[in-house]
Amino acid sequence: MASSAAVPFWRAAGMTYITYSNICANLVRKCLKEPFKAESMNREKVHFSLSKWADGKPQKPVLRSDAPEV
């Protein structure tokens, strides 16, 4: 029996909700006027540290950033 329930368009397009919401957030950020655009771009930056493990002990952490290059 086929379901007559509506499928969200992002699911029908083969996306996850996270992918869809990230695309929408990027579009909104790009449409903002200054100074709001600069503020929102600064909030988008993410910094984190990554530690490799050897012999059951963490090695020296490496700081990383996924901020887009401007």
pLDDT digits (tens, 9 = 90+) for 34-65: 998 888 887 777 777 888 888 888 888 887 77
Tell me if 19 is assigned to some domain. yes
- Domain tally for the chain? 1
Tell me if 1 is assigned to some domain. no
Residue 68 has pLDDT above 70, yes or no: no
d(CA 48, CA 64): 5
Residue 67 has what pLDDT?
Answer: 58
d(CA 5, CA 2): 9
Tell me if 59 is assigned to some domain. yes
User: Which domain covers residue 20, as residue numbers?
Assistant: 9-65
Look at the chain and count its residues.
Answer: 70
d(CA 55, CA 61): 15
Tell me if 23 is assigned to some domain. yes
Tell me if 13 is assigned to some domain. yes
- Per DSSP, the three-state class of 14 is coil
First to last CA, the chain: 52
Residue 47 tokens read as 């910094």
- 59: domain CATH number is 1.10.1620
Residue 3 has what pLDDT?
Answer: 57
pTM score, whole prediction: 0.53
Tell me if 3 is assigned to some domain. no
